[in-house]
Amino acid sequence: MVKFARHARVVRLRSDQTLLCSQSDHAPYRYNCGHLIEAALAHRDYYKNDKLLEPMIKYVGLVSSLFGPEEGKIHGYPGHPEIELALLRLHAATGSKSAYSLARYFIEERGNPTGQEGKHYYEWEAERRGDSPWKRPNHYPEARDHWYNQAHVPIMQQQTIEGHSVRALYLLTAVADLLCIEQENSYQLEKPDQWRATLIRLWENMVDQKMYITGGVGAIKQWEGFGIDYFLPQSTDEGGCYAETCASIAVMFLAERMLSIDLNGQYGDIMELCLYNNVMTAMSLDGKAFTYVNQLGSSDKDNSGREDWFWCACCPPNFTRLFGSLGGYLWHFGESDQQAFINVHLYTSATLTFDSSAGPVELEMKSHWPWEGKISFALHQPDSIKTTMKFRIPAWSAEQFTLTPPAKSTSVTDGYLTLYPDYISANPVFALEIHGFEPRFVEPHPYTNQSTVSLARGPIIYCLEDAHNSWETNHFKDVVLKAGEAVKEESRTQEPSGEKYVALRSTVGKRSLANWQSRKPGKDPSSRVRAMEVGEYREAVFIPYYMRANSGGNGHMRVGLIKG
């Protein structure tokens, strides 16, 4: 995430007003404003007053008076997107047209090469500060690398997702919000099909070429973001792996909006992958320690562990905010003219209640997810309401499920099973059992050059750590796992938290480096190819990735093991 400046500079932007927005290509002022807007909306929902919202609306008015397309205003936009999605939330809550217009302007103006006095806004601003044209922030590989801020070209021209991962995903979340508003016919968005195509293009690039199997994104520490396609090293000593907590939370933000635009199970699958792996690993089981970076392999420089706090502490509050609002990710619902719908995206134990034109509708969901696939439902609704329900069937289940009582016909479309009102009326209490919870072997794309294999079960990705495998002393870098090896499940309880989980046991070997270790130093960087020698076979204990660094040990951990 953004690094906060120790001292803020006040730059006079107009003869009669000042605004803390200097160095907006990498300073966080409007980013902070966005979070304050969201805090004000939460404050209003809870306390039922506008004591925090009222000054934030004035703040938005100030920003709007300074930035915009009109003559005399600054034709610019924030360095760190966040205010955009916050403004659209403010619009949704209050109907503010100015909030909508300002958000849309920031999104559409971004990357304009001649927007401010014929110049790129960031370069115009740098000139105003008197910066050298060759000066670059530490996170820019070269001067004017505005892809770091997703401002190298206008958004609809961007072919790949680039730069700081959280910035990119907050920006795309705001674009998705614009499409959601357009879909509701509140405002007409120019070229909505092109905006939608842009979202899909960048989503697919992220998932297919730039996402770790844990749902983590962002391989590069220098700019806390995306590398080139398929560059997904597991650890520092392999050349990277950042996978910031906030970035996977932002993936969930975007996925939830995409499900509103296009009900497709791929978005729910990725939302679930992020939640149960790269996000959940971000807090210790006792709630006292956190991660900012979530590498898939430890090293001598970066052991697997957590910290009590961070000097840039964006991830812990973002984590708690996500879990405080997790109900909004479980399902989408609504009703019109006594026709109701409920789309279930994530499974857990929870109760949904909403008002309809004929009275309250309540859905109870009970399960032991993510360890078991059986989910029980009970729907209570007025007789006049006709409800259609859709349930995500995860891709890892190969669309295998059992519905009890059975329906006359069932089919899965775009990853969702549909139950129509006649079934729901006849069976208000029913159960859905999703299959595919047996352990499976997974691997990253061949172009990553990882040649690794990992274990997964349901939505959970597993890892090895030395707290459960005390024989390991080299971060599992030479451990070999053969796909297809027998895997045993074991129910466990983590102490002292009392967390119940399923561990996996399988046989692993160790790669021999004897041929390399016996060579004379400094003689030759290569060696004649030989078959990999594997020995020292033993049983290893695999635990869920999110449970790492909760049981002591020396911080040795790895997700992807050498493919045997």
pLDDT tens-digit readout, 370-382: 999 999 999 999 9
The β-bridge relationship of strands 339-344 and 350-356 is unpaired
- Kindly report the backbone phi and psi dihedral angles of residue 401, in degrees, each rounded to the nearest multiple of 5, phi listed first: -155, 165
Spatial separation of the C-alpha atoms in residues 303 and 282, rounded to whole Å: 15
Residue with tokens 């102490």, as numbered in its chain: 495
CB 150 within 8 A of CB 162: yes
Residues present in the chain in total: 564
DSSP states along 172-199: HHHHHHHHHHHHTTSSPPSSHHHHHHHH
Token pair in block for residue 441: 């072997």
- Residue 123 corresponds to which tokens in the numbers above? 């370069």
Give the pLDDT of residue 27.
60
Sign, CA torsion 9/14/18/21: negative
Report the candidate in 257, 431, 273, 247 with the shortest Cα–Cα distance to residue 329.
257
Question: For position 26, what pLDDT does the model report?
Answer: 53
| Sign of the dihedral defined by the CA atoms of residues 294, 297, 298, 301, in that order | negative
- Predicted model pTM: 0.94
Q: Which one-letter amino acid corresponds to residue 180?
A: C
End-to-end CA distance of the chain: 37
What is the chain's pLDDT, residue by residue, as a tens digit (564 residues)?
322 222 222 333 333 343 444 445 456 678 889 999 999 999 999 999 999 999 999 999 999 999 999 999 999 999 999 999 999 999 999 999 999 999 999 999 999 999 999 999 999 998 998 888 888 888 888 888 999 999 999 999 999 999 999 999 999 999 999 999 998 877 888 899 999 999 999 999 999 999 999 999 999 999 999 999 999 999 999 999 999 999 999 999 999 999 999 999 999 999 999 999 999 999 999 999 999 999 999 999 999 999 998 888 888 889 999 999 999 999 999 998 999 999 999 999 999 999 999 999 999 999 999 999 999 999 999 999 999 999 999 999 999 999 999 999 898 999 999 999 999 999 999 999 999 999 999 999 999 999 999 999 999 999 999 999 999 999 999 999 999 999 999 999 998 889 999 999 999 999 999 888 888 899 899 988 989 999 999 999 999 999 999 999 999 999 999 999
H or E stretch at 87: helix 83-94
- pLDDT for 9 equals 29
Go through 304-314 and write b for each residue having 16 or more CB atoms within 10 A of its CB, e for each that does not.
Answer: bebeeeeeeeb
pLDDT value at residue 187: 85
Which residue type does 244 have?
E
Residue 454 to residue 5: CA distance in whole angstroms: 40
Kindly report the three-state secondary structure assignment for every residue of 212-272. CCCCCECCECCCCECCCCCCCCCCHHHCCCCCCHHHHHHHHHHHHHHHHHCCCHHHHHHHH
Res 2: pLDDT: 29
Closest CA to 84 of 127, 30, 123: 30
pLDDT of residue 344: 98
Contacts of 57 (CB under 8 A, 6+ apart): 90, 94, 96
Q: What pLDDT does 22 receive?
A: 45
